[in-house]
Homo-oligomer: A and B are copies of this chain.
Amino acid sequence: MAKLDLDGIFPPIPTPFIKEKVAYDKLASNVERWNTTGLKGFVVLGSNGEYVSLSEEEKRAVVDTVVQSADDEMLVIAGTGCESTTETVRLTEDCAKLGADAALVVSPHYYGGRMNETALVKHYTTIADQSPMPILLYNVPKFTHINLAAGLVARLSEHPNIIGLKDSAGNVIQLGEIINAVASDFNVLVGTAGVLFSALTIGCVGGINALANVAPKQCVAILERVKAGDLDAARKMQLKMIPVNQAVTVVYGVPGLKAALDMLGYFGGAPRLPLLPSSKREKSEIEAILRKADLLP
């Protein structure tokens, strides 16, 4: 199986809802607009896609919608991680049939205390053995409360069908350790846009970043400036984007990301309950942050 080249910026796109139902048309129109912004592709069913609040049927329909709406040259990576290994295999197969290019598999985590290296190796290799498409590991301790350390990533990277990692730990030392430990064609992508510049300069090939939903061109610019050796411009853009990234991640979360999308002409809408939409005060703070970063006219 030829390895995919993932050197680029991918937004983990939110799932739009109207009155608690998935708004597939809004999803499609968002994707069509993102098509023109220089992104390498899309991640669907990630943490920002509220995958934990979607039924299996909705998950398949979301992947289908994005595959149909994305430009041909754009990659579609589907979040297929479930708590159970078997369910993950099944959803991965389904998403492959729907045309996804790769699967992003979050670590199982409810029984976090038992997710030692042996269990995680068994889980991921079982999936990778059976998956018709390549697998990316997904490390997001903020949500899972477990960490996929460099040693484990290196071990799993030797599987021919595990082609990369999204690491959202925000730990640049760990990114360095991983880059030291894996082969050069293993795709290490950073999941935390606040360190996109640092991740790229230490050796990551790209990013899967909530920020890329609201500031796709700016994320792409950081990548291109780093590639071009124009560190100063890249650094300045990174520093400018840090407050925006904090806003759409740790400070205001998925509701804030959706509120920001609404301000930027995309469809954001309300998250599915139990997530509450941003309050008026929060929206006003988000707007000020977007404005200060020159993302609003």
In the complex the two chains form, is B203's CB within 8 Å of A201's CB? no
The reply to whether B246 and A123 form a contact with Cβ atoms under 8 Å apart is no
A276 at interface (Cβ–Cβ under 8 A)? Answer: yes
**Residue from B53, B114, B142, B231 within 8 A of A84 (CB atoms):** B53
Stretch from A60-68, A95-103, A157-165, A169-177 that touches the partner? A169-177
Cβ of A255 to closest chain B Cβ, rounded Å:
7
For A239-253 the 0/1 string (1 means CB < 8 A from B) is 100110010001001
Q: Is the CB of B235 within 8 A of A203?
A: yes
When each residue 60-103 of chain A gets 1 if its CB lies under 8 Å from chain B and 0 otherwise, what string results?
00000000000000000000000111110000000000000000
- A297 interface residue, CB < 8 Å from B? no
Contact of A273 among B86, B113, B276 (CB under 8 A): B86
Contacts of A272 in B (CB 8 A): 84-86
Copies in the complex: 4
- The docked-state distance in angstroms from the alpha carbon of A274 to that of B109 is 10
**Given the known A-B contacts A85-B274, A238-B202, are A250 and B113 also in contact in the complex, defined by CB atoms under 8 Å?**
yes
A246–B174 alpha-carbon span in the complex (Å): 10
> From DSSP, what is the main secondary structure of chain A's interface residues?
helix
A195: Cβ under 8 A from any B Cβ: yes
- Report the separation of the CA atoms of residues A84 and B272 in the bound assembly, to the nearest whole angstrom: 7
A29 within 8 A of B: no
* Contact present for A173 and B195 (CB under 8 Å): yes
Asked whether A119 and B276 contact (CB < 8 A) given A201-B231, A239-B203, A242-B173, the answer is yes
With contact pairs A173-B194, A202-B238 given, residues A274 and B180 touching in the complex (Cβ less than 8 Å) = no
- Further 10 A-B residue pairs, CB within 8 A, beyond A173-B195, A203-B239: A108-B274, A114-B254, A115-B274, A119-B276, A170-B171, A173-B242, A176-B242, A198-B201, A201-B231, A202-B235
29 contacts between A and B (CB under 8 A): A53-B83, A53-B87, A83-B274, A84-B273, A85-B274, A86-B273, A111-B254, A111-B274, A114-B254, A114-B255, A114-B275, A114-B276, A115-B274, A118-B276, A119-B275, A123-B273, A145-B145, A172-B172, A173-B194, A173-B242, A173-B246, A176-B195, A176-B238, A177-B246, A180-B239, A198-B198, A198-B201, A201-B201, A229-B231
